[in-house]
Structure 1
């Protein structure tokens, strides 16, 4: 954990559940309820109380081959999305139970592989999978009703979802779609292979709506593509360095920051100039060692960004283009 004001760090997890083993197990998902954090590691969930500074095993799924990919808390229930289905854990009674979202004959490896969970104020619990997006609706008392499960989007691998003032957009392996909740219809917007840019890979890794109403779409190999929600015009922007885009973020000054597989790129929307930081200078570097996977704003000052990188979380100074060194790292557990 990092104090955003002092940058003092405390290591609460070393990356290994068993010190006798050589395997490392990453934290795949995090959620929070008041002062308690819940960390998903393999098939287990650990709780961490910021006052007690202690990492405790809370839940262990019976099948050790299951992998937890998503966590969400609602109404004292922890929803657990795995690569083999959905589970619920009642935080009061400490009871764990599976929650079936498909009939047995309609369950596949892909539509039972859950990638994300989110709560929608109107629709209920939204479940994104490798094959489709599903909904568990609220009942009349605003509780999630396991008997009210419907399919919102069938077939597609859901990479990202954004509910914006211009509509609800879904990034998939087959391009961009818009979901119309008033009619429950899914509208195909675009795919890269049907554009004039001669791109055959249609996967959209990440999408972001900027302040001017333009959707920025991250591609796997062909840079960033934009789609204007008002004019519905499609453009491509390629970078001089790496064009595998993992994350797109726009700061308060309207500057775009692109997390790539080889560093962080700053893109000026007005001048169209770009500059890349933190890229590799070693031709023999491990693949992904200089990747930037996610970008978050800092509460310290707008001149800083938090970056999720190969070796952890780093604070980046936009004015110097350098990483701020962590201070006084202390091991907790």
Structure 2
């Protein structure tokens, strides 16, 4: 920049070679037109005072239509260039038929001659007759509209279909309906496009589409409507695709954010190039790509423009020679009697346990791009690819023989598969040598032989001892047959088992009766305690009675003085008794009336039961509709039951009242009679005193309590007697069982003695002693 016939800026945004062999280059500050014949460069810039100048200095996209008209997308609208004249198409907010946005990213004319313009704010269709635009925008409520307004790429497939790439998905225009089909990324379906940010669309010769995205390239098959993605994981140098072109041999070339890549659609293999291969830099720009009619490819970036013929970009055919350039032991270079590159074998002691190999590929076209792989046979099972790293360390190798191998490639990946091979021998320590292992084998063999011999002697002794024992066993067997010892043991064992079973049964009976005795004893103790308490109670009542008798005697001495008063009181008693008798008679009459009322209640109860039964029958007939009857029936039945129970209780109470009333009446009549007699006695003897009556009444109550205590004592005594009888019977049974058990144990002892005598015949010590 700044020199005559040089680019105005090295930052390239767009490029185009027209039919007149002018190369148009959009840069950061001007549009450059390069004359290939003369080498002259002409600059076009925006002139604010000239509406027929370039609309903006920065041209983002260049397109030549079939009529030779050059359309320029800038940072401020669209510019049309024809025969040296320029015309601007600018956005106008007050005119809906104007261009929808300033930034123009892509331009194309379809098969019907309609010019389409992709802007930052929508898609526009130009009617060149009326010089007006029809604009298309994203509508969230319309699934047949654009997904996003930023239109980054436009392309026509071989069938004339218009494809629109946006920042949020791929579209296909439907002219008949004037709407769009959408093709979007679905995370759940790997057959959809892998990223919605479409940067470039390239129609393939077979009718498919190649798409450059922010996540690699995608191939779209219109027949299956499926996408196949290729990314960095497949060998692509970078996933951000700026430009995408197909050369005459069918290879794809793509500019990225980290170099240029060549892709073979048949083999699916990428070949990557970077600034070291002559590129303007590793970073390119969107829109700056073009293929001319001669097959030349143009790619622009942040530091200039690359133009090349793809067929001239050949791989370096030179197979590099691989040599050893260094060998270190414990971090120090090893000393050899020849050049290290000529060394074919290296010997080490076990103490030299840290070694380093250094190697190189003798191909210097781009040495920094040479690649290496190595392995130490006997240690590594597979090749280790180290990239351009040409050093490797090994530590603590076991003693033995190894083969170190290295293979490498040149900058274009042409490999020397034979590579380098160096023999490596590590001498093991003495204790790991073959001679040491031989000594170990001999020592182990001798030790094993000695152990075997000792073990054989032990086995012989054991065999002799067992033979002697077997002889004794045979002798014992003869004795057993003669003495019929086995038969005696079997017989005595049967008797012993029978006696043991008898003892167990007897002991079970003893346990049961002991349990019963325990319960009876507890009952006896309880009854005894209750009887003792009653006796104490009786004693207290008797003493109280004696005291009351003494008091009565004292009161009797005073009887004479109270005779007259007693007579008057008795008259009063007679009067009260007479009244009580009348009241009792009235009570009997009322009780009779209550009895009549009870009869009436019983009649009502019978009727209630009848109503309950009828309600239950009606509920059964009505089913679910008669659930209300069922509830009534239940309630009535419940009331009936309660009434019946109450009636029974009332009846019983009335009967008791009647009985008591009759008893009271009878007693009151007797009292009246006795009172009359008492009056006569008072008048004759003046000895009846009210105090004596009270004392006698106390004595009577006490004696009644004594009688009750005596009855309780009698019951307790009977209980004690019953428990004593149980204890006595169980004691007799237990005594019998104990005698029987003792007899059985005696028999068992005798049998055990006989068995002990027989067992002594099996005692090897006695036999051996007897045999001397």
TM range (shorter): 0.5 to 0.7
Aligned length: 288
| Structure 2 counterpart of 1:299 | 294
The counterpart of 2:134, out of the listed 129, 132, 150, is: 150
For residues 214 and 121 of structure 1, what CA distance do their matches in structure 2 show?
Answer: 18
For residues 294 and 68 of structure 2, what CA distance do their matches in structure 1 show?
Answer: 28
TM, length-normalised to structure 2: 0.32
For residues 223 and 68 of structure 2, what CA distance do their matches in structure 1 show?
Answer: 41
8 Å Cα contact 1:136-1:149 kept in structure 2? yes
Cα 1:318–1:277 change in 2 (3 A) is farther
Any stretches of 5+ residues in structure 1 without a counterpart? 1-10, 17-22, 138-143, 323-333
The counterpart of 1:256, out of the listed 245, 249, 252, is: 252
Cα 1:297–1:47 change in 2 (3 A) is closer
Structural mapping, 1:111-190, within 5 Å: 111-137=101-127, 144-152=128-136, 154=138, 155-166=148-159, 167-190=161-184
| Structure 1 counterpart of 2:270 | 275
Q: 1:86 aligned to 2:57?
A: no
8 Å Cα contact 2:123-2:151 kept in structure 1? yes
Higher RCO (CA-CA < 8 Å; seq separation 6+): 1
Cα 1:179–1:196 change in 2 (3 A) is same
For residues 194 and 91 of structure 2, what CA distance do their matches in structure 1 show?
Answer: 33
For residues 250 and 39 of structure 1, what CA distance do their matches in structure 2 show?
Answer: 21
RMSD: 4.3
Q: 1:61 aligned to 2:51?
A: no
SS at match of 1:188: strand
TM, length-normalised to structure 1: 0.66
Cα 1:182–1:61 change in 2 (3 A) is farther
8 Å Cα contact 1:265-1:275 kept in structure 2? yes
For residues 89 and 234 of structure 1, what CA distance do their matches in structure 2 show?
Answer: 38
Structural mapping, 1:219-238, within 5 Å: 219-220=213-214, 222-238=215-231
8 Å Cα contact 1:41-1:68 kept in structure 2? yes
| Structure 2 counterpart of 1:141 | none
Q: 1:14 aligned to 2:10?
A: no
Cα 1:225–1:194 change in 2 (3 A) is farther
1:55 CA drift (Å) = 3.8
Cα 1:187–1:160 change in 2 (3 A) is same
Deviations 1:168-224 (A, max 9, x none): 21111111110112221111122365644899852111222323333222221x222
| Structure 1 counterpart of 2:299 | 308
1:252 CA drift (Å) = 4.3
8 Å Cα contact 1:162-1:208 kept in structure 2? yes
Cα 1:296–1:194 change in 2 (3 A) is farther
SS at match of 1:145: coil
For residues 241 and 109 of structure 1, what CA distance do their matches in structure 2 show?
Answer: 38
For residues 57 and 33 of structure 1, what CA distance do their matches in structure 2 show?
Answer: 19
Deviations 1:21-71 (A, max 9, x none): xx7564745464646665555565565656665444555331897633345
| Structure 1 counterpart of 2:398 | none
8 Å Cα contact 1:176-1:191 kept in structure 2? no
8 Å Cα contact 1:70-1:80 kept in structure 2? yes
Cα 1:37–1:113 change in 2 (3 A) is same
Larger radius of gyration between Structure 1 and Structure 2: 2
8 Å Cα contact 2:14-2:62 kept in structure 1? no
SS at match of 2:126: strand
| Structure 1 counterpart of 2:674 | none
8 Å Cα contact 2:126-2:133 kept in structure 1? yes
1:122 CA drift (Å) = 1.8
For residues 243 and 298 of structure 2, what CA distance do their matches in structure 1 show?
Answer: 10
Say which structure is richer in helix: 2
Structural mapping, 1:233-244, within 5 Å: 233-238=226-231, 239-242=234-237, 243-244=239-240
8 Å Cα contact 1:78-1:91 kept in structure 2? no
Deviations 1:253-309 (A, max 9, x none): 44433433333333333333x132323679xxx9x9224664637837xxxx63525
| Structure 1 counterpart of 2:511 | none
8 Å Cα contact 1:71-1:80 kept in structure 2? yes
For residues 68 and 192 of structure 2, what CA distance do their matches in structure 1 show?
Answer: 49
1:230 CA drift (Å) = 0.4
8 Å Cα contact 1:113-1:130 kept in structure 2? yes
